[in-house]
């Protein structure tokens, strides 16, 4: 689906108001799209039914417009495309690359806590110990049919075997482009579909980046390690691999990354306090 010219995207999750970190990412995407002679799309990543709120979507659009950023229509809202993610998930299940996992977070925690050697994924979460990987298929199907809540996990060993030794991507920044080797195995049997929806962030993002013809993904460094998993999913699903740039995160005065949950000042707060879009742009280096 590439048009020949670069396509970037800004893809916020509407579970809070945008803060300066989002503004930086949105402005950087727009600036790069401009300089590369391409365009930047907006995508609303609202797969989380509990945390995504329509008010936050309206807020995102208003905050971006206030900053002077507009986007081509239609703006994709992931919650409206669950059947597409379900189809991608079913394909992986049908190929024996994903299995249902009935373990609760508490059960996994208890199991991994008793083993001080448990390796962790790049987010510091103990790797799934594989409890449900070898469940009898008939038993698992029966439990799922009875409505026993379950996630779907990628069978990492099977996935690596199926995808072959293909994994890497081009990372780009001001200094140029370089090849980065990906190591998806460090995520273990990652969750690719949550209990409540037939996808996870990882599956939906690779699906949509391909569908929307995204050629350059520019996002925060907190998602750099996840790219290893994304590259594997792209190989499994036969999707193109965009170029990636992972920008530094903005930190608060205490050196913590800005976050909605830690109550970092939102763009709406700054607007209320009389700051202008020009001041925000200048503060973030986009004057």
Residue 16 contacts ligand GLU per CB under 6 A: no
Give the residue from 271, 220, 219 showing the smallest Cα distance to 64. 271
CA distance 89 to 31: 34
By CB under 6 A, name the one of 6, 7, 8, 12 that touches ligand GLU: 12
- Of 149 and 240, the one with the shorter C-beta distance to ligand GLU is 240
By CB under 6 A, name the one of 6, 13, 40, 280 that touches ligand GLU: 13
Minimum CB–partner distance for residue 258 and ligand GLU (Å) = 12
User: Segment near ligand GLU (CB under 6 A), from 8-16, 80-88, 161-169, 245-253?
Assistant: 8-16
Q: What are phi and psi of 147, to 5 degrees?
A: 85, 15
- Of 17 and 150, the one with the shorter C-beta distance to ligand GLU is 17
Residues constituting the chain: 287
User: Segment near ligand GLU (CB under 6 A), from 6-14, 119-127, 141-149, 184-192?
Assistant: 6-14
Is residue 243 within a helix (H) or strand (E), and if so which, with residue range? Answer: strand 243-247
CA distance 213 to 226: 20
Q: How is the beta sheet containing 151-154 ordered, strand by strand?
A: 98-101, 151-154, 191-193
186-225 as b/e: b if 16+ CB within 10 A: bbbbbbbbbeebbbbbbbbbbbbbbeebbbbbbbbeeebb
Minimum CB–partner distance for residue 137 and ligand GLU (Å) = 33
- Of 106 and 124, the one with the shorter C-beta distance to ligand GLU is 124
CA distance 245 to 129: 32
User: How deeply is 86 buried, as exposed, middle or buried, from its count of CB atoms within 10 A (0-12, 13-18, 19+)?
Assistant: middle
By CB under 6 A, name the one of 93, 125, 223, 239 that touches ligand GLU: 223
User: Segment near ligand GLU (CB under 6 A), from 10-18, 107-115, 138-146, 163-171?
Assistant: 10-18
| Residues in contact with 261: Cβ distance below 8 Å, sequence separation at least 6, in sequence order | 16
- Of 114 and 261, the one with the shorter C-beta distance to ligand GLU is 261
Report the site for ligand GLU in 37-66 (rule: CB under 6 A): 45
User: Segment near ligand GLU (CB under 6 A), from 5-13, 129-137, 268-276, 278-286?
Assistant: 5-13
Report the site for ligand GLU in 187-216 (rule: CB under 6 A): 205
Which residues form the interface with ligand GLU (CB under 6 A)?
A: 11-13, 45, 205, 219, 223
């Amino acid at each position: 689906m590439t048009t020949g010219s670069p396509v970037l995207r800004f893809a916020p999750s509407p579970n809070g108001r945008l803060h300066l970190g989002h503004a930086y990412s949105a402005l950087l995407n727009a600036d790069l799209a401009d300089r590369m002679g391409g365009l930047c799309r907006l995508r609303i990543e609202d797969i989380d039914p509990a945390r995504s709120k329509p008010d936050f979507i309206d807020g995102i659009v208003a905050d971006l417009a206030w900053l002077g950023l507009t986007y081509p229509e239609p703006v994709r809202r992931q919650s409206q495309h669950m059947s597409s993610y379900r189809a991608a998930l079913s394909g992986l299940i049908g190929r024996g690359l994903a299995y249902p996992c009935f373990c609760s977070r508490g059960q996994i925690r208890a199991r991994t806590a008793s083993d001080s050697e448990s390796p962790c994924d790049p987010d510091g979460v103990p790797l799934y110990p594989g409890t449900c990987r070898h469940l009898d298929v008939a038993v698992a199907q029966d439990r799922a049919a009875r409505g026993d809540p379950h996630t779907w996990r990628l069978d990492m060993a099977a996935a690596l075997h199926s995808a072959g030794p293909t994994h890497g991507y081009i990372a780009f920044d001001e200094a140029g482009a370089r090849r980065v080797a990906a190591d998806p195995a460090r995520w273990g049997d990652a969750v690719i579909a949550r209990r409540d929806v037939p996808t996870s962030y990882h599956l939906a993002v690779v699906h949509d980046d391909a569908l929307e013809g995204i050629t350059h993904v520019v996002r925060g460094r907190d998602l750099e390690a996840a790219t290893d998993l994304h590259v594997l999913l792209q190989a499994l699903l036969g999707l193109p691999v965009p170029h990636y740039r992972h920008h530094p995160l903005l930190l608060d005065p205490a050196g913590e990354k800005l976050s909605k949950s830690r109550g970092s000042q939102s763009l709406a707060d700054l607007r209320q306090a009389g700051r202008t879009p020009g001041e925000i742009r200048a503060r973030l280096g986009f004057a």
